[in-house]
Structure 1
Amino acid sequence: MPQQQWSKKEERQYRHIRDQAEERGTGEDRAQEIAARTVNKERARKGETKTASRTSIQDMSPSRRGGQRSHSGPKGRTKEQLYQEARRKNIDGRSKMNKAELERALKRR
């Protein structure tokens, strides 16, 4: 999938992202798509492409973002993830809290 116009560095980045995605259990086709999109978005940010979406230019780079938006969908993080974070922050009463209470307690800290 590496393209002719990619530099050696971009080809290495593509292979690294693809391999990491496959190790996490992502299918081969999806891993290739993720890697290609990431490399192409970086190229668009640098102005190396003919066209670029607004988010490619104005949004933070995919390498910097690195999962910051994970679990921020409609339901957010799981109760277990919230509980583990509350445990790390030593929030009292966390074992008796429901998901909404854990979210509120973490926001206060």
Structure 2
Amino acid sequence: MSKGSSRKREQQYEQIKENAIEHGVSDHRAEEVAARAAHGGKTRSGSQGPTRDQLYEEARLRGIGGRSSMTKAELRKALDDH
């Protein structure tokens, strides 16, 4: 995590990263998913935000049910509410 991160975000990052690795995601991918989630879904490009597939993967890692039929907006809301 970056130097200016809050302790809460650092803990969230570590928890998501560990969960992703436990579910068989590569270390590199787990770090990407955790960083994105810990920063509120912001990507480096900043243009469109995460793709539907990226949101779906995060929802899968968090155990959100019904995700396969959700739209991008619904996935985003479910992740925000979770």
**Which TM-score band applies after superposition, normalised by the shorter structure?**
0.5 to 0.7
For structure 1, the residue ranges without an aligned partner over 5 or more in a row are 45-50, 56-61, 74-109
In structure 2, give the amino acid aligned to 1:70.
Answer: R
Secondary structure in 1 matching 2:35: helix
Shift of 1:70: 2.4
Asked if 1:71 corresponds to 2:58, the answer is: no
Query: Which of the two has higher C-alpha Rg?
Result: 1
> After the TM superposition, which residues 31-70 of structure 1 pair with which residues of structure 2 at under 5 Å, given as runs?
31-41=30-40, 66=62, 67-68=64-65, 70=67
Q: How many residues align?
A: 57
Cα distance in 1 between the residues matched to 2:49 and 2:24? 31
Cα distance in 1 between the residues matched to 2:33 and 2:16? 8
Cα distance in 1 between the residues matched to 2:11 and 2:47? 22
TM-score by structure 2 length? Answer: 0.53
| Aligned twin of 1:9 | 8
For structure 2, the residue ranges without an aligned partner over 5 or more in a row are 51-57, 71-82
TM-score by structure 1 length? Answer: 0.41
Shift of 1:52: 8.0
Cα distance in 2 between the residues matched to 1:10 and 1:22? 18
Secondary structure in 2 matching 1:41: coil
Across the aligned residues of Structure 1 and Structure 2, the Cα RMSD in angstroms comes to 3.1
Secondary structure in 1 matching 2:25: coil
Cα distance in 2 between the residues matched to 1:9 and 1:33? 18
In structure 1, give the amino acid aligned to 2:4.
Answer: Q
| Aligned twin of 2:25 | 26
Percent identity, please. Answer: 28
Cα distance in 2 between the residues matched to 1:52 and 1:5? 23
